[in-house]
Structure 1
Amino acid sequence: MAREMSISRGDFLKVVGAGAVAGSTLSVLACQPNTTAQSSGGGGGGPEEKALNFYNWGDYVAKSTIPDFEKQTGIQVTQDFFSSNEDLLAKLQAGGTGYDVIVPSDYMVSIMIKSDILVPLDMSRIPNFKNVGDNYKGLPYDPKNEYSVPYQWGTTGILYNKKELGPLEPNWDPMWDQANKGKIGMLNDERETPGAALYRLGYSVNATSKEQLDEAEAELKKQKPLLRGYFDSTQNRPSVINGDLLLGHVFSGDAFLALSSNDDLDYMIPEPAATRWTDNMAIPKGAEHPDNAHKFINYILGAKTGAELSNYTYYNTPNEAALPMIDGALKNLPGYQLEPSIFEWLQIIQDVGKATRQYSTLFTAVKSA
């Protein structure tokens, strides 16, 4: 799931009256991308050099995150960027080693564990893991948090123009409504968009039966003539803001960014089910600086760092110690703070094994229909 953003979040918080908090204004990332990660690995036996290679989604750290870590530790951070979980996996499988910390999403953590790509974490060196809330520990993709700890989390739902459409019931039906023809944008994502159809049909987002997946494909083919197209979340967001779309299938951070500047919009998490996702920090095999990697992961899980991160990304923090420092204007946006009952019907996308190919084939068939 792409988390990329290219416009100022800080300006939006100022519009709605939030205080100036470190990490809530746009900045150029502290380090330039390292597009040629080193291929040797293992960390060696002597003291590590003061360096860290961080492989992350674009624009997914606060203004202060990297500079403060470098100042505190003397460790120089180099960032490289990927645009999808699949790109991340392909890079590592192709021998792109030398990265010290990576940020895979939930189901990709599971795939990487099975593919023997990750090294176990030494939790004795990550004491700030205590800050992580129980709702974000022991999730299905890494039940004992042996290989990963949470970085940010969010939901996938519908950003819509409530001025034009009025308040909508929280379900998936508007995305299939003939009245909205040409004004709907779905995610260009082979798990999220079939997932929306599965949710609407009352099935699991991780369905593997051919019958259920065939039904989902049929639903998406019915929907396709109503769509403007399949887009990234970062494309659906501005299209809803400028009126080209009335409804956009988006990740929650994009929705909150839009809501913070436009009172005509709203965000809903549809029933009977929707996606809850988590991005995670992990150390891949071949890491050049595993000691520094543990220091960086522990730093990210600090209360202040965690708050600055979410105040910048507009995504939710798994860090309970950070919650008192989240900007009030952000916490007050619709859908940012979820009622405990909502967690009961949110689903987590998981590795579906051999059925992964079925999802890819299904989505390709829908887009080419």
Structure 2
Amino acid sequence: MKKLMMALLFVFLLIALILGLQWGLSVARQQPSSQKGETLTFYNWGDYIDPSILSDFSKETGYKVNYQTFDSNEAMYTKIAQGGTNYDLAVPSDYMVAKLTKAGLLAKLDKSKLTGMDHVNPQFLNQSFERGNQYSVPYFWGTLGILYNKTKVDGSKLQNWSSIWSEQYKKRLLLVDSARDILGLTLISQGKSVNDQNKADLAAAQGKLSSLMPNVKAIVGDELKLYMAQGEADLAVTYSGEAKIAMEQNKDLAYTVPKDGSNLWLDNLVIPKKAAHKKAAYALINYLNRPDVAAKNADYIGYATPNQKAYQLLPKSVKSDKAFYPEQSILDRLQVYENFNQYWTQTYNDAFLEFKLGKS
């Protein structure tokens, strides 16, 4: 009897051992030990991702996410350059990608570790700020345009940028507080490039811009969308994403991109050179590039996705909205900002400051 009991005990222990090994292997397959407890630091603009995407990513991969935010490209650049925090993934805008790359602050992407790049619309790849996308992957894109109240402004009269100079808009216009944007639209209205680096052209643009001042009610920042939603002004120069938020709060608002062209901005995913968890960074880039995830993110954020397959998954009402997904004829006239050197950055800033002082 004793031998029988010992034999049964041995069999029981053997079965338990086998079951334990199977369970351990199953867990290992779902969450590799190299990922267990590893935390990815993601440096992004505020409220610029659907929070559920980060939690779903963690559940699926085992990587935790430390989400930190910035409010300007310049603030982000300073933090990455200082190196106090080893950010693993960041989201700079077009010209800032060029600046980070030139400063040697970004890791060159290993294309063999990227998936879903074939989902990205070629229109948003190989841009002037980063040829070949050796360091960046498009995240969201948008435009600079005119947000207006349909009950007070005839949108059919906003066909070009010069329309905002009309005397009928006296003290009715809000401007976003941005030198490149406001001088850029003025240059476009004169048939010039937003990246113009000719002193005579800039002086002419500055002269025309000064004549816009009678129409300007205020020059503001993030609060612009709130002012428009509350009816504080009748029209404004702002970004497509900001316009979308205001329009969701006030159904009388509409957004248009002038036919003479505008700025095409692109926010991008990059891996800083000092990233401590590059494997996790690639995993998140690939996850965000999945059509179902990209569509969910675009639906939450309200900005335009560069992911073609994700675009197809969006509601018809969104896909057909020409203000946020313009026709090709408009896209062909959009210009991406180039990274200016210190001289031209200061020159544009000084010109815009003179304009603002004329308001005070």
Shorter-chain TM-score category? 0.7 to 0.9
Work out whether 1:266 is the aligned partner of 2:254: yes
Aligned equivalent of 1:209: 198
Q: Deviations over 1:71-108 (max 9, x none)?
A: 11111101111111111112222334310000000111
Higher alpha-carbon deviation: 213-222 or 155-164: 213-222
Aligned equivalent of 2:268: 280
Q: Is the 8 A contact 1:100 1:288 kept in 2?
A: yes
Q: Is the 8 A contact 1:259 1:333 kept in 2?
A: no
Aligned equivalent of 1:218: 207
Q: Deviations over 1:186-244 (max 9, x none)?
A: 11112111111111111100001111111222222222232122112x42222222221
Aligned equivalent of 2:15: none
Work out whether 1:53 is the aligned partner of 2:41: yes
Supply the distance in 2 between the matched residues of 1:160 and 1:96 (Cα, whole angstroms): 43
Correspondence 1:1-369 to 2 at 5 A: 47=34, 50-167=38-155, 168-232=157-221, 234-260=222-248, 262-353=250-341, 354-369=343-358
Q: Which has the higher helix share?
A: 2
Q: Is the 8 A contact 1:236 1:249 kept in 2?
A: no
Q: Is the 8 A contact 2:311 2:319 kept in 1?
A: no
The alignment yields a C-alpha RMSD, in angstroms, of 1.7
Aligned equivalent of 2:18: none
Q: Give, in angstroms, the shift of residue 149 of structure 1.
A: 0.4
Q: Is the 8 A contact 2:54 2:65 kept in 1?
A: yes
Q: Is the 8 A contact 2:186 2:209 kept in 1?
A: yes
Q: Is the 8 A contact 1:266 1:334 kept in 2?
A: no
Higher alpha-carbon deviation: 143-152 or 81-90: 81-90
Supply the distance in 1 between the matched residues of 2:84 and 2:220 (Cα, whole angstroms): 28
Q: Is the 8 A contact 1:174 1:180 kept in 2?
A: no
SS for the counterpart of 1:349 is coil
Q: How many residues were matched structurally?
A: 323
In structure 2, do the counterparts of structure 1 residues 115 and 121 end up closer, same or farther at CA, with 3 Å as the change threshold?
A: same
Q: Is the 8 A contact 1:171 1:272 kept in 2?
A: yes
Supply the distance in 1 between the matched residues of 2:125 and 2:181 (Cα, whole angstroms): 23
Q: Is the 8 A contact 1:159 1:237 kept in 2?
A: no
Q: Give, in angstroms, the shift of residue 261 of structure 1.
A: 5.0
Which consecutive unaligned segments of at least 5 residues does structure 2 have? 1-32
Q: Give, in angstroms, the shift of residue 263 of structure 1.
A: 4.0
TM score, norm. by length of structure 1: 0.83
Supply the distance in 2 between the matched residues of 1:97 and 1:119 (Cα, whole angstroms): 16
TM score, norm. by length of structure 2: 0.85
Q: Give, in angstroms, the shift of residue 292 of structure 1.
A: 0.7
Supply the distance in 1 between the matched residues of 2:253 and 2:68 (Cα, whole angstroms): 34
Supply the distance in 2 between the matched residues of 1:321 and 1:226 (Cα, whole angstroms): 42
Q: Is the 8 A contact 2:142 2:265 kept in 1?
A: yes
Q: Give, in angstroms, the shift of residue 259 of structure 1.
A: 3.2
SS for the counterpart of 1:118 is coil
Identical counterparts, % of pairs:
34
Counterpart amino acid of residue 312 in structure 2: P
Which consecutive unaligned segments of at least 5 residues does structure 1 have? 1-45
In structure 2, do the counterparts of structure 1 residues 96 and 206 end up closer, same or farther at CA, with 3 Å as the change threshold?
A: farther
Q: Deviations over 1:168-189 (max 9, x none)?
A: 2311123222221221111111
| Larger radius of gyration between Structure 1 and Structure 2 | 2
Counterpart amino acid of residue 199 in structure 2: K
Supply the distance in 1 between the matched residues of 2:76 and 2:123 (Cα, whole angstroms): 26
Q: Give, in angstroms, the shift of residue 162 of structure 1.
A: 2.0
Q: Give, in angstroms, the shift of residue 260 of structure 1.
A: 4.2
Q: Is the 8 A contact 1:256 1:330 kept in 2?
A: no
Q: Is the 8 A contact 1:119 1:285 kept in 2?
A: yes
Supply the distance in 2 between the matched residues of 1:93 and 1:323 (Cα, whole angstroms): 35
Q: Is the 8 A contact 1:106 1:279 kept in 2?
A: yes
SS for the counterpart of 2:211 is helix
